[in-house]
A and B are shown apart, each in its own frame.
Chain A
Amino acid sequence: MKMKQISRIFALTALVAISGTAVAASATMDKIKSSGAVTMGVRESSIPMSYTTGDSRFDGYHVEVCRMILGDIKDKLGMSTLRINYQPVTSQNRVPLVQNGTVDIECGTTTNNAGRAKDVGFANTLYVEEVRIAVKANSGINSISQLAGKKVATTTGTTSVQLLRKHEKANGVNFDEVYGKDHADSFLLLESGRADAFVMDGSILAGNIANAKNPKDYKIVGEVLSTEPIAIMVPKNDPEFKAAVNAAIAKIVANGKMPALWDKWFLKPIPPKNIVVGLELSPATKNAWANPNDKPAEDYVQKK
């Protein structure tokens, strides 16, 4: 009796294993199917891309896209329910957490560049970021050339720090850089007058300004300092999972859902405080939707 039971269990597991591999030859998708859950990496305060709306709930442009992608993968795996666990990540730990499998899919504000592409995979770009300058509206600053010798804030652990260094070198100017430990801190430096400008991704600047006490006191000015693809991060050694994510993205784009999503997160009031980010759709982002690709930031530099 007992032997029979054991052999039956063996047969059953073998069957499950075989059917599992038949549907998905991907470690990540195997894990999702067997555990019935997936871990999404999210940011705490990257409004409106990926942020918390309080009570450990997360939302945003990339988070909503990711929920659609995971819904598509759930259907593909023939699962009735899929539990999504949200794991907040930071600029420092997001790559290691995807590498070691803690996070299955990271939906934050990660720049797709060649350096990171050695460690992780990137899905097709849905958002192209432009690095801009935020200043106080009454400062009279309109261009980066006016920032020579001024205090310029940026956030530790972001690509903007290196970007500023390169700009100083290329144009022979000198900024007095101050570093915030996170974006909110950098914006506080601008707000309290410790910095004359805050150089960062346009969406982050717009989000922080929208969240400020008096959004009218600040404005985004000047030329685009750099163009970078912001992409959803997936494990490196799992091309099947990446292909499934990209297929889901293609479906979302083909169904014409992207303009509505842009409207919802960048132009309309968003939870929890009903602020309006007010960032118009850029031609670069529109181009990324029309021509799906996972080109790293380095390719965007050459294009200019």
Chain B
Amino acid sequence: MALDLGIFCKSTLDGEVVDHCFSSLLGLNQNADPSYLDWLMTAWGWTLAVAGLGLTIALIVGAVVGTLRTLPDTGRGSRILVRFATAWVELFRNIPVLVQVFLWYHVIPAFIVPLKMLPSYWLVSIALGFYTSARIAEQVRAGIQSLPGGQRAAATALGLTTTQAYRYIILPMALRIVIPPLTSESMNAIKNSSVAFAVSVPELTLFAMQAQEETSHGVEIYLAVTLLYALSAFGVNRVMALIEKRSRIPGFISPSNDAVAH
């Protein structure tokens, strides 16, 4: 079937071809009315913004919660922290992400009224961030537990406190070990950001549903959106590969230089 890519140069208001189809992308010109291409780019921006904020929250919270789950049993305080972290993971891992988005958007603001002031962009990013944080926490825990027990014992023998042992000995190694699964999780954040359409964030999925209805060119619209999702996820993949390469200490974890993700 023939693809009619000209649809992207048409105005979103009257369906006429706009004056500056591609040059408006580069900021050289401004269209009087936005074209579908302009809209697609804005939508892409929203997708990246939701995924970016969600992933930032997820990495920070996930690293903290994952670390807490591995705390040694040194008294009541540490036991409470371990239980809290376990509860966190089980809570956010066991509820579908779309349901969590609705909880943050419709249910929780009904009880905590100030949250109603937050734009849906923030609420959906928190939902996505907490959901992903549960998964990242498990990966961080796996990384920490994969270290030989002697590491922790040696740190204690040197007189380091628990905090110091994590800061200088355990986490630097564990976080390097879990970069490959974190790459998958970061790419998932891009893809999972599509749930934001359900709470009125004008991102790529919402664009696809609305634009295909207006233009009756579903194939072209969905192809473009698919391409941008794939491109974004691949971009994240490359950035993570770069981080993996840069942060590597030869002989520290993997003796071979070839064992870097491609």
Known: A92-B209, A161-B210. A156 touches B197 (CB 8 A): yes
Complex Cα spacing A265 to B13, Å: 35
B200 within 8 Å of A (CB atoms):
yes
- Among B89-138, those with CB < 8 Å from A are 106, 110, 116, 120
Given contacts A157-B210, A192-B110, 13 further A-B contacts (CB under 8 A): A92-B212, A95-B216, A115-B216, A118-B216, A156-B197, A157-B209, A159-B214, A162-B12, A162-B13, A165-B12, A166-B13, A179-B197, A192-B106
Size bracket, chain B contacts: 20 to 34
Q: Which 4 A-B residue pairs are closest in the complex by CB-CB distance?
A: A115-B216, A178-B200, A179-B200, A181-B198
Q: Which residues in B have some Cβ–Cβ distance to A below 8 Å?
A: 12-14, 33, 106, 110, 116, 120, 197-198, 200, 202, 206, 209-210, 212-216, 218
Q: Are A156 and B216 in contact (CB under 8 A)?
A: no
For A118, A156, A185, the residue with the greatest tally of chain B CB atoms inside 10 Å of its CB is A156
- B11 to chain A minimum Cβ distance, whole angstroms, is 10
- A102 to chain B minimum Cβ distance, whole angstroms, is 15
Minimum CB distance partner of B207 in chain A: A156
Minimum CB distance partner of B198 in chain A: A181
Complex Cα spacing A118 to B218, Å: 13
Complex Cα spacing A181 to B12, Å: 20
For B198, B213, B215, the residue with the greatest tally of chain A CB atoms inside 10 Å of its CB is B213
Q: Are A157 and B213 in contact (CB under 8 A)?
A: yes
- B22 to chain A minimum Cβ distance, whole angstroms, is 22
Residue tally, chain A, CB below 8 Å to B: 27
Complex Cα spacing A158 to B211, Å: 10
- B34 to chain A minimum Cβ distance, whole angstroms, is 9
- B248 to chain A minimum Cβ distance, whole angstroms, is 44
11 A-B residue contacts at CB 8 Å? A116-B216, A156-B210, A161-B210, A161-B214, A166-B13, A169-B13, A178-B120, A179-B202, A181-B197, A181-B198, A193-B116
Q: Which residues of B contact A166 (CB under 8 A)?
A: 13-14
A180 within 8 Å of B (CB atoms):
yes
- A97 to chain B minimum Cβ distance, whole angstroms, is 12
Q: Which of A158, A165, A181 contacts B213 (CB 8 A)?
A: A158
Known: A169-B13, A178-B200, A179-B200. A162 touches B214 (CB 8 A): yes
Minimum CB distance partner of A153 in chain B: B200
Q: Which residues of A contact B13 (CB under 8 A)?
A: 162, 165-166, 169
A287 within 8 Å of B (CB atoms):
no
Q: Which residues of B contact A158 (CB under 8 A)?
A: 213
Complex Cα spacing A280 to B116, Å: 37
Complex Cα spacing A185 to B213, Å: 19
Q: Are A119 and B216 in contact (CB under 8 A)?
A: yes
A96 within 8 Å of B (CB atoms):
yes
Q: Are A91 and B106 in contact (CB under 8 A)?
A: no
Complex Cα spacing A95 to B213, Å: 10
Q: Are B218 and A115 in contact (CB under 8 A)?
A: no
Q: Are A92 and B213 in contact (CB under 8 A)?
A: yes
Complex Cα spacing A185 to B202, Å: 16
Minimum CB distance partner of B32 in chain A: A169
Complex Cα spacing A114 to B116, Å: 41
Q: Are A180 and B200 in contact (CB under 8 A)?
A: yes
Q: Are A156 and B106 in contact (CB under 8 A)?
A: no
- Among A142-192, those with CB < 8 Å from B are 156-159, 161-162, 165-166, 169, 178-181, 185, 188-189, 192
Complex Cα spacing A185 to B214, Å: 21
Q: Which residues of B contact A179 (CB under 8 A)?
A: 197, 200, 202, 206, 210
Minimum CB distance partner of A162 in chain B: B214
Complex Cα spacing A171 to B90, Å: 52
Q: Are B213 and A91 in contact (CB under 8 A)?
A: yes
- A90 to chain B minimum Cβ distance, whole angstroms, is 10
Q: Which residues of B contact A189 (CB under 8 A)?
A: 200
Minimum CB distance partner of A119 in chain B: B216
Q: Are A159 and B216 in contact (CB under 8 A)?
A: no
Complex Cα spacing A96 to B213, Å: 11
Q: Are A115 and B209 in contact (CB under 8 A)?
A: no
- B222 to chain A minimum Cβ distance, whole angstroms, is 10
- A108 to chain B minimum Cβ distance, whole angstroms, is 14
Known: A169-B33, A178-B200, A181-B197. A115 touches B206 (CB 8 A): no
Complex Cα spacing A91 to B218, Å: 12
- A117 to chain B minimum Cβ distance, whole angstroms, is 9
- A278 to chain B minimum Cβ distance, whole angstroms, is 27
- A199 to chain B minimum Cβ distance, whole angstroms, is 14
Complex Cα spacing A119 to B200, Å: 29
Q: Which residues of A contact B110 (CB under 8 A)?
A: 192
Complex Cα spacing A159 to B206, Å: 14
Minimum CB distance partner of A115 in chain B: B216
Q: Which residues of B contact A169 (CB under 8 A)?
A: 13, 33
- A39 to chain B minimum Cβ distance, whole angstroms, is 21
Complex Cα spacing A181 to B124, Å: 14
- B41 to chain A minimum Cβ distance, whole angstroms, is 17
Minimum CB distance partner of A92 in chain B: B209
Minimum CB distance partner of A95 in chain B: B216
- Among A199-213, those with CB < 8 Å from B are none
Minimum CB distance partner of B219 in chain A: A96
Q: Are A156 and B206 in contact (CB under 8 A)?
A: yes
